[in-house]
Chain A
Amino acid sequence: MKPPPFEYAAPETIEEISALLAEYGDEARIIAGGQSLMPLLALRVVRPTVLIDIGRVSALDGWRQENGILRVGANLRQQDLLEDEDLKSALPLCAEAAPQIGHPATRSRGTIIGSICHADPAAELPVCALALGALMTVRSADGERQIAAADFFDGALSTAVSDEEFVPEVHIPLPDVLTGFAFCELSRRHGDFALVGVGCSASLDTDKRIVTARVGIGGVDDTPLCFDLDSAAKEQISDGQSVGDVAESIASQLDPGTDLHATSDYRRAMAALLIDRALQTAVSRASEG
C-alpha cells in the first residue's frame, strides 16, 4: 500500500513546529522515526494533509540531566537505550525494556517519545513512563504545559495532547540510590508488542523499608495502567512476606481483553506472575543499591 498525497514540512526550530501545528491542527501529523506512522500512512488509515518531520530540529536531539531530572529529547532513538552507556545507567528501567522493543532496525529509527505518544497499550515505553512517573512536556504556539504520565494516556492510540500540541521533551525524575527497577514481559515472539509487560520501580528508606513502589502494566487494557502500592502492601513486602498476594490483588483488578493472541484469563494470570517477578526484582535491586 502507498500513502495518499500529503505535504511534507521539515522545520528546523521548535517554534516552526508550533507554527505549523497552529496552522494545520488535526490535518498535520508529526513524524520522527516513523515506525508507527509509516505503516498507518501506507495502509491509508491516517491521511494527514501535512507531515511535519522533526528530524532536523536539533533542539530535540539527545538527552541531558539537570537538577535531578533527566530530559529526553523527541529525536532520541530507542536504540540509544541499548548503546549509550550513560543513558543506560540513568534509565535502567528503559534500558531493560529496550531489547524487547521491536528489532535493531526499528529501534534505530523509532524514538522514545514517538513510542510514548503513539500510545499503543501494549508498548514497552509507555509502561516505563508510568512506572517512572515521567512528565511529558507538551508545547503549542501558546506555550508549554506538563502532563504527568498517569494523565497522559486517554485510550488506545490516544493521548491528552491536543491537535495543536506536540511533545518536545519528556522529564524523568532521576532516582536516588535506594531505588530499584525491573521490567518483565511476555510476548508471542521476541520483539512483538507485549501480551503483558510490567515495569516496576521501588524506593527504600535507609532501613530498607519500601517508601514508594509503583507498577506499570501494558497489554491489559486500552491504556497502560499504573498502580501505586498502598501502605499495607508496602509494609507486607517490607516485612519479607509474599509479593505474590500483592501481585494477585493488583491482577484481580485488571480486566484484559481477549484477542487473537491471548485470552483475558491468560493475560490476567501472566500479569500476576510478571508483577510478582518485577516487584521482587525491583525491591531486591533497590536494597542492593
Chain B
Amino acid sequence: MSLFGKRQVRAEDDALLMGRGRFIDDIRLPGMLHVAIVRSAAARAKIRVNVEAARASDDVVAVITAGDLPASARVLPDCHPNPALPDPREPPVLADGEVRYVGEPICAVVARDRYLAEDGADLVEVEYETMPAIIDIEAALTAASPLVHTDVPLNRAAQIKLATGNTDQAFGAAHHIVRDRLTIQRGAGQAMETRGIVANWDRYQQKMVVWNVSQVPYVHRAAIAKALKLDEISVQVLNGDVGGGFGYKGLTYTEDLLIPVIAQMLEQPIKWIEDRAEHLIASYHERTQIHELEMALDANGRILGVRGRFLHDNGAYVPWGPVVPLLTAVNIPGPYKVPNFTVECDIVYTNTVPVAPVRGAGRPQACYVMERLLDAAGREMNIDAADLRRLNLIPPDDYPYELGFISRDGTRRTYDSGNVPALLERALDLVDYTERRQLQAKAPADGPMVGIGIACCVEDTGLGPYEEVGMSIEADGSVTVRMGTPSQGQGQRTAFAQIAADAFDIPFDKVRVVAGNTEEVRYSIGTFASRAGVVTGSAVHQAAQQMKDRALGFAAALLQTKTDALMFRDGAVVLADDTSRGVTLSEIVETSLGESGAPLALREFGPGMSVTGSFSPATNTFATGCHVAVVEVDLQTCKVNIIKYAAVEDFGNLANPLITDGQVLGGIALGIGNTFFEKVEYDEDGQILTGTFMDYLMATTMDMPRVDIDYVATPSPLNPLGMKGAGQGGTIPVPAVLSAAIDDAVRREGFRLRHAPFSESDLFQLLAESGPPLTKGAK
C-alpha cells in the first residue's frame, strides 16, 4: 500500500466546505477591542496629525500615533537581509511626519467594535503638505527627479548585475539580433481572506499570543519579540485556517508589530482585520518592471547570448530585499542554453505600495521577456516556434546543468534535474500541434484568427535552510506529525499524512498533521517559494525514518529478535517471515510509557514514541514547465477565446496529483489575470485608481479555459522523496504563452505584444496601429 503519489481526497475539505473552517475573523476573545487604521491619502507629503477630536470621543478607547510607539517598534526591521541591497529603507510602523505612498499607516484608532473604530478614524485630522510624487521608474532615475528618500540619490535602492561568458563577443559574432522593450505592470495577490491579526497580551505569563494569517509565523515571532523586547519563546504565533497566501502573506508588515504593541500597551486583546479596500492599498504589490533586452542568434536560430538591462519598481520601502528583481535576473535564461548572458537591474524607489513577492515572484517577468525574444526571433528568422525551442532547450543529458552564475541562495546556480524537451513534446501533443499548424496554414484569411503560443519556464523551488518536524505515535497507534510551515490552503494535512502513513503502513486517517502554532516545533522558516512540500515533506520523511528506527528497536527488544527481521505492516511491527507475529504500534507506545510509579520496562530506550526530525537541503530544486495555448482572436471585438490550454509540469515526484492539479489551475487563473486583468494603476500624483474590485479585475471561473494538465517527473536528487515545488509553476508562463498565441493569431505587420496585462481595448488600439496581414507561410 503506497499513498504517496495517490489522488487522495483532501483531509481539509470536509471542515472547510461545511463551515467549520476557523479563519482570523472567527477569533473572538473576551474584552477584545478593534482597530481601524488611518492611512495616507497622499503619495508624498509632510503631515501633521491632530488626534484630539478622536481621543475626546466617548466611543474611542485609544488613538496610537508614531510618537506613542516604543523605540523598538517604530521601524520595521529588515527581516530578510541580502548583500545585494545593503542599506534598505524600511517602513516606519506608523508614519512620522512624512508619508511616502497612498495607504501608508498614520495612526491606529482603538474602539469597542470596528464600526466605532472607523467612526473614530473619521475624526482624525491629517494635514497634508503634498509634494510631487515619484511614480514613473524611468523618470525616478534621472537627476531632475525628486527623491522618495532624501538620502538615496537617483531613487536607486540598489543595482544588481549578473554575467556569464563573453556576451559582447557573442553579439559580435551573431547572425541575427532581436531586441525589444518589454514591460510588465504591477498587480497584487488577492487571497480570498485578507490579512488580519488578533493579539493578546497575557500579563500573568508576560507572554504575547498572536493569531494571524502568516506564511512565516516564525519570522513574525522573531520580529514581534524584538519589537516588544521579549524572548522569542515569550511570543506565540498561531494560524488557524488561512484563505490563501499568494506570497504577500509571507512578508512582515507594519501591522504585524503594531497590533501586538497596542495589545501590550492597553493590556487588552486587539483585533485588526484588513478589509478589501484597505488590502488594495496596504498589502504589498508586485511585478512592475521595464526590460530592454536583446538576443543574439546564429544562422540556425541557436541562442548565442542575451544581454540588457531592466528597471524594477520597488515601491516606497523594502519589505524583502531585492528578491523579486534577483529572481527575474537569474531566471531569464530559463530552460534554454544561453552561453553568454549579461543583465543589469536598477531597483528604484517610488511613491507606491512597497513591492514584494507575489506568486511567481519575478519569474513571470523573466519567462515573459525570454519567450517574447524567442518569438520575435522565430518570426524574423522564419523558424517554427516549437522548432526554435527544440533547438535551444537544455538536453536532458546535460543535467545537472550549471548556468555560470550565482543563484538567489548564494550557491552556484545548477539545475539539479530536468527534461524540458519531453515536457515540450508532451504539451505539443496535447494540443495536436502539427495538425493545428497545418490547419492554420490552410485557413482562409477572413476566417477565425487562430494562433498557438508556447512557453517554457524554470522555477527555483524548495529552498533552504531547513524545516523541523515533530512526530509521535499515539496510544491508539495513530501518528501525529507536527510542523512549523502553516497552510494557506495547500493541503499539508493531506500530503504530509500520505508520506507518514506510508512509512508506518497505516491508513491515511490514522495520521494527524498539526501546524499553525509556533509551539509545536522549535524551528521553522515558513510556507513560501514553493518550499513546504519539498522541505517539510522531506523532514516528515526524515522524522518518520527516525521514528521507525526507534519503534523497530523497541519492538525487536520486545520480540527478542533483530530489527532487520522486522517490518511495519498494518499498524504493527511484525516478523518479516511470519507476519502473524508481532506487536502493534499501540502496544509499543503503551509499553514504552510503562505504568505510573513503576520502573520503565526498557529503560535504555527512554519514554514514549516521539522524535524530532529535520531536513536541510543542499540547495534548491528546480521545477520546470511547458505551457501551450491555442487561442482565437475576434478581430472585431478583440476578445480572446482560449480554445485549448495544455500545462505540462515537472514537479519531480508528486505526493498528491490532485493537490498539484489545484496548484496548476489556481496558478493559471492568476496568470490569466496577469495577462488580461490584474493591474494596479496609479495616476501621476500617486493616487491609486484601482481601489475596488470594480476596477481591479481578476479572472473568474468564466475566464478559465479547460486545462489539460500532465506531469513528467524527473525526480530531484536533492531530497529523499525526489520532490520539487509546485506552488508557482502554473502562474509563471501564462502571460508569455497567451501573448505568443495572440501575436500568432493576428499575424499582422507591426502587431506585437510587448506589455502585460492588456485588455481587448488595448488589442484594438494595437490592431488599429498595425500594418497589413503578414504573408501566408510566414510564422
Type the 1/0 row for B671-710, where 1 means its CB is closer than 8 Å to any CB of A: 0000001010100000001101011010110110000000
Closest residue on chain B to residue A192 by CB atoms: B697
Out of A4, A260, A269, name the residue touching B764 (CB < 8 Å). Answer: A269
For residue B681, which residues in chain A have a CB less than 8 angstroms away from its CB?
260
Closest 5 CB pairs of A and B: A262-B761, A266-B761, A190-B702, A2-B115, A266-B764
Distance in Å: Cβ of A92 to nearest Cβ of chain B: 24
A260–B687 CA distance with the chains assembled, in angstroms: 14
Asked if residues A189 and B702 are in contact (CB atoms below 8 Å), the reply is: yes
Known interface pairs A43-B277, A190-B703, A260-B679; 7 further A-B residue pairs with C-beta atoms within 8 A, sorted by A's residue number: A2-B118, A39-B692, A43-B692, A189-B703, A191-B702, A195-B761, A265-B764
Asked if residues B690 and A265 are in contact (CB atoms below 8 Å), the reply is: no
Within 8 A of A (CB), among B752-775: 759-761, 764-765, 768
A1–B759 CA distance with the chains assembled, in angstroms: 30
Out of A193, A261, A273, name the residue touching B637 (CB < 8 Å). Answer: A273
Type the 1/0 row for B258-283, where 1 means its CB is closer than 8 Å to any CB of A: 00000000000000000101100000
For residue B694, which residues in chain A have a CB less than 8 angstroms away from its CB?
193
Within 8 A of A (CB), among B119-133: 119, 122
For residue B764, which residues in chain A have a CB less than 8 angstroms away from its CB?
263, 265-266, 269
Asked if residues A44 and B637 are in contact (CB atoms below 8 Å), the reply is: no
A195–B694 CA distance with the chains assembled, in angstroms: 12
Closest residue on chain A to residue B696 by CB atoms: A260
Residues A2 and B114 in contact in the complex (CB < 8 Å), given A43-B277, A270-B637: yes
Distance in Å: Cβ of B121 to nearest Cβ of chain A: 10
Question: B205 at interface (Cβ–Cβ under 8 A)?
Answer: no
Residues A262 and B703 in contact in the complex (CB < 8 Å), given A2-B118, A43-B277, A192-B697: no
Out of A2, A189, A262, A273, name the residue touching B700 (CB < 8 Å). Answer: A189
For residue B699, which residues in chain A have a CB less than 8 angstroms away from its CB?
189
What are 20 sample pairs from A and B whose C-beta atoms fall under 8 A apart? A1-B118, A1-B278, A2-B115, A3-B115, A4-B119, A4-B122, A5-B115, A43-B692, A186-B639, A188-B677, A188-B697, A189-B703, A191-B700, A262-B759, A262-B761, A266-B638, A266-B761, A266-B765, A267-B761, A273-B636
Closest residue on chain B to residue A267 by CB atoms: B761
Within 8 A of B (CB), among A250-264: 260-263
Closest residue on chain B to residue A273 by CB atoms: B636
Query: Using a Cβ cutoff of 8 Å, how many contacts connect chains A and B?
Result: 66
Asked if residues A190 and B700 are in contact (CB atoms below 8 Å), the reply is: yes
A140–B554 CA distance with the chains assembled, in angstroms: 88
A73–B591 CA distance with the chains assembled, in angstroms: 76
Interface residues contributed by chain A, number (CB under 8 Å) = 26
Asked if residues A186 and B697 are in contact (CB atoms below 8 Å), the reply is: no
Type the 1/0 row for B311-355, where 1 means its CB is closer than 8 Å to any CB of A: 000000000000000000000000000000000000000000000
Asked if residues A260 and B677 are in contact (CB atoms below 8 Å), the reply is: no
Distance in Å: Cβ of A105 to nearest Cβ of chain B: 13
Distance in Å: Cβ of A2 to nearest Cβ of chain B: 4
A208–B695 CA distance with the chains assembled, in angstroms: 45
A160–B219 CA distance with the chains assembled, in angstroms: 58
Closest residue on chain B to residue A188 by CB atoms: B697
* Residue from the set B114, B636, B637 with the largest chain A CB neighbour count within 10 Å: B637
* Residue from the set B122, B278, B638, B759 with the largest chain A CB neighbour count within 10 Å: B759
Type the 1/0 row for A34-50, where 1 means its CB is closer than 8 Å to any CB of B: 00000100011000000
Out of B277, B638, B697, name the residue touching A189 (CB < 8 Å). Answer: B697
Distance in Å: Cβ of B115 to nearest Cβ of chain A: 4
For residue A43, which residues in chain B have a CB less than 8 angstroms away from its CB?
277, 692
Asked if residues B637 and A265 are in contact (CB atoms below 8 Å), the reply is: no
Out of A2, A189, A263, A270, name the residue touching B677 (CB < 8 Å). Answer: A189
Type the 1/0 row for A205-235, where 1 means its CB is closer than 8 Å to any CB of B: 0000000000000000000000000000000
A265–B277 CA distance with the chains assembled, in angstroms: 31
For residue B690, which residues in chain A have a CB less than 8 angstroms away from its CB?
260
Distance in Å: Cβ of A74 to nearest Cβ of chain B: 25
Within 8 A of A (CB), among B628-657: 636-639
Asked if residues B760 and A266 are in contact (CB atoms below 8 Å), the reply is: yes
Asked if residues A265 and B768 are in contact (CB atoms below 8 Å), the reply is: yes
Closest residue on chain B to residue A274 by CB atoms: B637
For residue A44, which residues in chain B have a CB less than 8 angstroms away from its CB?
118, 122
Distance in Å: Cβ of A248 to nearest Cβ of chain B: 14
Distance in Å: Cβ of A67 to nearest Cβ of chain B: 40
For residue B692, which residues in chain A have a CB less than 8 angstroms away from its CB?
39, 43
Residues A1 and B703 in contact in the complex (CB < 8 Å), given A186-B637, A192-B697, A273-B637: no
Within 8 A of A (CB), among B728-779: 759-761, 764-765, 768
Distance in Å: Cβ of A125 to nearest Cβ of chain B: 17
A3–B122 CA distance with the chains assembled, in angstroms: 11
Distance in Å: Cβ of A214 to nearest Cβ of chain B: 24
* Residue from the set A1, A39, A43, A267 with the largest chain B CB neighbour count within 10 Å: A1
For residue A270, which residues in chain B have a CB less than 8 angstroms away from its CB?
637
Distance in Å: Cβ of A123 to nearest Cβ of chain B: 12
A224–B715 CA distance with the chains assembled, in angstroms: 60
For residue A190, which residues in chain B have a CB less than 8 angstroms away from its CB?
700, 702-703
A186–B637 CA distance with the chains assembled, in angstroms: 8
For residue A260, which residues in chain B have a CB less than 8 angstroms away from its CB?
679, 681, 689-690, 695
Closest residue on chain B to residue A43 by CB atoms: B277
Distance in Å: Cβ of A55 to nearest Cβ of chain B: 22
For residue B118, which residues in chain A have a CB less than 8 angstroms away from its CB?
1-2, 4, 44
For residue A189, which residues in chain B have a CB less than 8 angstroms away from its CB?
677, 697, 699-700, 702-703
Closest residue on chain A to residue B679 by CB atoms: A260
For residue A186, which residues in chain B have a CB less than 8 angstroms away from its CB?
637, 639, 760
Distance in Å: Cβ of A38 to nearest Cβ of chain B: 13
Asked if residues A5 and B119 are in contact (CB atoms below 8 Å), the reply is: yes
For residue A2, which residues in chain B have a CB less than 8 angstroms away from its CB?
114-115, 118
Out of B277, B636, B639, B761, name the residue touching A1 (CB < 8 Å). Answer: B277
For residue A261, which residues in chain B have a CB less than 8 angstroms away from its CB?
695, 759, 761
Out of A1, A5, A265, name the residue touching B275 (CB < 8 Å). Answer: A1
A192–B679 CA distance with the chains assembled, in angstroms: 16
Closest residue on chain B to residue A4 by CB atoms: B119
Closest residue on chain A to residue B118 by CB atoms: A2
For residue B759, which residues in chain A have a CB less than 8 angstroms away from its CB?
188, 261-262
Closest residue on chain A to residue B117 by CB atoms: A2
A260–B760 CA distance with the chains assembled, in angstroms: 12
Closest residue on chain A to residue B763 by CB atoms: A266
A190–B699 CA distance with the chains assembled, in angstroms: 10
Within 8 A of A (CB), among B202-247: none
A174–B691 CA distance with the chains assembled, in angstroms: 42
Type the 1/0 row for A183-200, where 1 means its CB is closer than 8 Å to any CB of B: 000101111110100000
Asked if residues A263 and B765 are in contact (CB atoms below 8 Å), the reply is: yes
For residue A39, which residues in chain B have a CB less than 8 angstroms away from its CB?
692
For residue B703, which residues in chain A have a CB less than 8 angstroms away from its CB?
189-190
Distance in Å: Cβ of B747 to nearest Cβ of chain A: 21
Within 8 A of A (CB), among B81-132: 114-115, 118-119, 122
A2–B761 CA distance with the chains assembled, in angstroms: 35
Closest residue on chain B to residue A266 by CB atoms: B761
A3–B113 CA distance with the chains assembled, in angstroms: 12
A193–B638 CA distance with the chains assembled, in angstroms: 18
Distance in Å: Cβ of B690 to nearest Cβ of chain A: 7
A188–B703 CA distance with the chains assembled, in angstroms: 10
Closest residue on chain A to residue B690 by CB atoms: A260
Distance in Å: Cβ of B112 to nearest Cβ of chain A: 13
Distance in Å: Cβ of B196 to nearest Cβ of chain A: 15
For residue A191, which residues in chain B have a CB less than 8 angstroms away from its CB?
700, 702
Within 8 A of B (CB), among A1-35: 1-5
Closest residue on chain B to residue A264 by CB atoms: B761
Closest residue on chain A to residue B36 by CB atoms: A2
For residue B761, which residues in chain A have a CB less than 8 angstroms away from its CB?
195, 261-263, 266-267
Distance in Å: Cβ of B36 to nearest Cβ of chain A: 8
Distance in Å: Cβ of B24 to nearest Cβ of chain A: 17
Distance in Å: Cβ of A221 to nearest Cβ of chain B: 17
Distance in Å: Cβ of B28 to nearest Cβ of chain A: 17
Closest residue on chain A to residue B34 by CB atoms: A2
